[in-house]
Amino acid sequence: MVQSHLMPWVAVTTPTGPGSSLEVRAFVAATLLVGLLTIIMWELRHIFLIVNIALLYLLPVLTIALRWGIWPAIYAAGLGVLAFDYFFVPPVLSYTVADFRYLISFAVFLAVAALTASLAGTLRRQTHDALRRESLTSSLYELSRQMAAVRDLETLLDEVAQHVSRTFATPVPVMIALPDAHDQLRIAARTPVIDPGYRVNANVLDWVYHHGEQAGFGENKNTELLYIPLKTEDKVHGVMCIGEYGLGTVFNPEQLRVVEALAGVAAVSIARIHYEEEAKLSHLMAESERLRTALLDSISHELRTPLATIIGSVTGLLEGMDVLTLLDQRELLVTIREGSMRMNRLITNLLGMVRLESGMLRLNRQSNDMADMIGVALRQVQDALARRRVAVNIPDDLPPIKVDDVLIDQVLTNLLSNAIKYSPDGSTIRIDVTFSESTMTVSLQDEGIGIQPLEAERLFEKFYRSPTAQHIPGTGLGLAICKGIILAHGGTISARRGSPRGTVMTIELPLEHILIKEQES
Amino acid sequence: MIGARILIVDDESQIRKLLTVTLQAHGYATDEASNGHEGLVMAEQLRPDLIILDLSLPDMKGTSVLSQIRSWSNVPVVILTVHDDETDKVFALDHGADDYITKPFSMGELMARVRVALRHVAQSPEEPVLTLGHLKIDLIHRVVERQGETVKLTPIEYDLLRVLALSAGRVMTHRQLLRQVWGEQSYESESHYLRIYVGHLRKKIEDDPTRPRLIITEPGVGYRLLAPEK
């Protein structure tokens, strides 16, 4: 087929059908145009000079050349000469030419027509090429733009497959195979199957993957699938298979170039995602390493210190029964009690952390009274509170709140313990509860050492200990657990410096409205 | 009730030793069982006055030991649990345990639980007026006085206080309170009424309702009316 290279194959170019019907349409159009012109000229033959008529016959030639290219134009020129000769050159209505000078005119006319047609044809091809290049560029641009936004491999592969499939005038089937953990190629993305007849050949796939070169292969006589390696400079990341069924023909060199360019963009995007994942993984590993070290440091220190006082006191008691006064003995016993309480708190916190992190935390949400929960927390720390003043401010019409009371108790107790730990004897701890349509806010203010402006966020990180509080024992777990529990309830917890001094811890919990009828007989 | 006989069922020998030494020092006689089956056999043979039962035993579930004991005896049972298993605690309490104590516990707490549990068996229910610190409850006239002044209670508030006071010192689960105050057909989903009425009651009988000293909340379990020990 002569004009097959002019076929539009990029989806955005002129919407025309397959080649042969296009050809027919061009020649039919040429015939019609010349015929129409002839009829008009016949009617007006007394007004125009014969020279004018000859020139007017160039019009259909130009039109056809611009629209369909050189060959239909030359056909139009030939047809024009014949019509002009038959209808207008004397003797009229015969092919006989009386004046032989007309033969020269015909030759000139044909030459001019051919030249015009070929110029117009070239112009048309150039426009067409420009359009095609622009379409290729925009296709590549579109793909790379899409790829840049994608963060996970699965979506990326899907988008590549879809895009490649849509690039051609007729959608073609596309599959992308990537190696799995054992370096075995697996189909990771595919467009909906258009022709169920094609099959990916595993051997060809493997060969292309390991050699990094493209190949075409079909089970039968013809090439069914084109296997294109997705490679960057140093590595083959996978293989893209493209079916040629959609076009009914093999890809021409230009189409191949497009496919290769798209494969290149895809390969770079896949490589990018791989690198991102690797970077994330190594960051995670470094982070877990840091946490492990912190955990070991914290546990060994926090367990050993009270253990040392317990073992010391107990051995002192056992060995010194006769020399120690009753008062001394009592003193040692109190030390033992405090040491073991501290170990108990640490273990409770560690278990709490493990439960939160392993996702074993199950919320047992019941409608609860915040005032009651604050009362329970205050009771938990009542011995330590003996040397603090406590101001509790709770509105009378406080609505019930759906929370897990055991866990919220743990949060309140942790916050209260902190407030006591970091504030001086005789100072006041304020607890304020407020509520709005959608949230309940509990804030706890102490008059203690306060926090540094930049550590408000870090306070809630696991094992974080404020540099200003290193002299006070602690694991850096309490607030992390509080945050975990509050987040599990869909709430927020934050810390800020109090004014004029101290720390304010604020919990916000979502308030679901529970309709309660005050019914009493 | 000095001289009462207490059976300890726990697989940890150190805990048994600790309990034995302390209980004997307070004048109780003790027996030890190290697993559930042994505990059941000894409970039947020795007929103890009280059983301290660990919920996590090596051979069988503590709750099934409890229900087997309950099938033939009303002996008071105080259960020992570890932290973090409120469901087990509540299950045991709803199925006949008298009280619970969480490991690690202080001896003072344990002795208080034991005393309360033993007292409830010995108590004659006909006492018409209960005195709890500066609170006086006249069960016949349904009158409550606080420091000599009459406290106005709604019928439900009064019933709630009466049920808690009759079991003074002992934990009452949400379900037990709902059943005894609202009746058998009450649902656990109504437990928010319970919380509301406890709140109302506290405002009327506590010195500082935000830091209650009489009606104590046991998170996830229920309430306990603390009777000042004489």
Q: Which residue, B100, B122, B144, sits at the end of a domain?
A: B122
pLDDT category, A517, cuts 50, 70, 90? Answer: very low
pLDDT in tens, B130-188: 888 888 898 888 989 988 889 999 999 999 999 998 888 899 998 899 988 888 776 66
Q: Residue B114 domain-assigned?
A: yes
**Do the strands A428-435 and A389-393 form a parallel or antiparallel pair, or are they unpaired?**
parallel
Give me the number of domains chain B comprises: 2
Determine the pLDDT at residue A377.
Answer: 92
Q: Which residue of B has its CA nearest to A343?
A: B104
- Measured CB to CB, residues of chain B less than 8 Å from chain A are 83-84, 86, 104, 154-156, 191-193, 195-196, 198-199, 209-212, 216-217, 219-220
* Residue B157 covered by a domain: yes
Which tens digits make up the pLDDT trace of A68-86?
878 888 888 888 888 888 8
CB contact (8 A) between residue B156 and residue A371? no
Residue A207 pLDDT > 50, yes or no?
yes
Coil, helix or strand for A84? helix
pLDDT at A18 over 80: no
Q: Does residue A19 carry a pLDDT above 50?
A: no
* CATH number of the domain encompassing residue B78: 3.40.50.2300
For the cut 50, the answer to whether the pLDDT of residue A187 exceeds it is yes
Q: Two tokens at A341?
A: 């309480």
In the listed set B91, B122, B153, which residue is the last one of a domain according to the structure?
B122
A498-513 pLDDT per residue, tens? 888 889 999 999 987 5
Q: Is B230 within the bounds of a domain? A: no
Cα A265–A270–A274 angle (5° rounding)? 150
pLDDT for A17: 39
pLDDT > 60? residue A3: no
Q: Comparing B229 with B94, which gets the higher pLDDT?
A: B94
Which fold would CATH assign to domain A152-280? Beta-Lactamase (3.30.450)
The verdict on a CB contact (< 8 Å) between A375 and B217 is: yes
pLDDT value at position B100?
A: 92
Residues B20 and B101 in one domain: yes
Averaged pLDDT score across all residues of chain A: 81
Q: Please check whether residues B32 and B94 belong to one and the same domain.
A: yes
* Containing structural domain, residue B140: 129-225
Give the range with max mean pLDDT: A90-104, A171-185, A371-385, B20-34.
Answer: B20-34
Shared domain for B36 and B63, answered yes or no, is yes
Which two tokens mark A137? 């560029």
> Residue A240 pairs with which residues in a beta bridge?
A176, A228
Looking at residue A452, its pLDDT comes to: 82
What pLDDT shows up at residue A196?
Answer: 53
User: What DSSP designation does A46 have?
Assistant: T
Distance CA A191, CA A6 (A): 28
Amino acid A428: pLDDT: 93
Q: Which residues of A touch B (CB under 8 A)?
A: 340, 344, 348, 351, 364, 366-369, 371-376, 378-379, 390, 392, 394, 400, 405-406, 409, 514, 516, 520-521
Separation of alpha carbons A301 and A291, rounded Å: 15
The reported pLDDT for the residue numbered A218 is 66
Mean pLDDT for A445-457 is: 85
Whether residue B43 is found in the same domain as residue B93: yes
Q: Range with the lowest mean pLDDT among A357-371, B37-51, B53-67?
A: A357-371
At A220 the pLDDT is: 59
Q: What is the pLDDT of residue B226?
A: 87
CB contact under 8 A, B212 and A521: no
Q: Alpha carbon of B74 to those of A268, B35, B90, B168: distances in Å?
A: 77, 21, 18, 18
User: Quick one: B16 and B114 in the same domain?
Assistant: yes
Note whether B157 and B221 are same-domain residues: yes
For the segment A289-312, the average pLDDT, to the nearest whole number, is 81
Least confident of A195-199, A416-420, B175-179: A195-199
Are both B31 and B106 inside the same structural domain? Answer: yes
Q: Considering only residues A228 and A301, tell me which one the structure prediction assigns the higher pLDDT.
A: A228
Q: Does residue B158 form part of some domain?
A: yes
How high is the pLDDT of residue B39?
94
Closest C-alpha among A314, A296, A317 to residue A306: A314
| Three-class secondary structure of residue A221 per DSSP | coil
pLDDT interval class at A16 (50, 70, 90)? very low
Whole-angstrom CA distances from A12 to A15, A137, A170, A345 are 8, 12, 11, 70
DSSP line for A470-482: TTS---S-HHHHH
List the single residue in A344, A371, A409 with the smallest CB-CB distance to B199: A371
| B139 and B214 together in one domain | yes
Model pLDDT for residues A340-388, shown as the tens digit of each residue: 988 888 888 888 888 888 777 778 888 888 999 999 999 888 888 888 9
Question: Given a cut of 60, is residue A1 above it in pLDDT?
Answer: no
B53 falls in which pLDDT band (50, 70, 90)?
very high
Write down the pLDDT at residue A444: 94
Phi, psi of A407 (to 5 degrees): -75, -40
Would you kindly state where each structural domain of chain A is located, as residue ranges?
4-143, 152-280, 302-357, 366-510
Q: With both helix axes pointing from N to C terminus, report the angle between B155-166 and B174-182 in degrees, rounded to the nearest 10.
A: 130
Per-residue pLDDT at A467 exceeds 60: yes
- Whether residue B148 is contained in a domain is answered as yes
> Domain check: are B219 and B138 in the same one?
yes
- Residues B61 and B169 grouped into a single domain: no
Amino acid at B108: G
How far does the CA of residue B87 sit from the closest CA of chain A (Å)? 10
pLDDT value at A60 more than 80: yes
Q: First-to-last CA distance in chain B?
A: 14
Tell me which of A359 and A492 has the higher pLDDT. Answer: A492
Task: Give mean pLDDT, residues A243-249.
Answer: 59
Q: Listing from the earlier edge strand, what are the strands of the sheet with A492-497? A: A389-393, A428-435, A439-445, A503-510, A492-497
ipTM above 0.90, yes or no: no
The backbone torsions φ and ψ at residue A186, rounded to the nearest 5 degrees and listed phi first, read -130, 140
Helix B13-25 / helix B107-122 crossing angle, nearest 10 deg = 60
Q: Are residues B190 and B148 in the same domain?
A: yes
Residues B31 and B118 in one domain: yes
CATH of domain A366-510: 3.30.565.10
- Cβ-count burial of A271 within 10 angstroms (0-12 exposed, 13-18 middle, 19+ buried)? middle
Q: In terms of pLDDT, which residue wins out, A485 or A300?
A: A485
Give pLDDT tens digits for A266-297: 888 888 888 888 888 888 888 777 777 777 77
| Chain A to chain B Cβ contacts (< 8 Å) | 61
Q: What is the CATH number of the domain that holds B140?
A: 1.10.10.10
Which of A293, A294, A297, A236 lies closest to A266 in space, CA to CA?
A: A236
- How large a percentage of chain A has pLDDT more than 90? 13
Could you say which of B66, B97, B122 is where a domain stops? Answer: B122
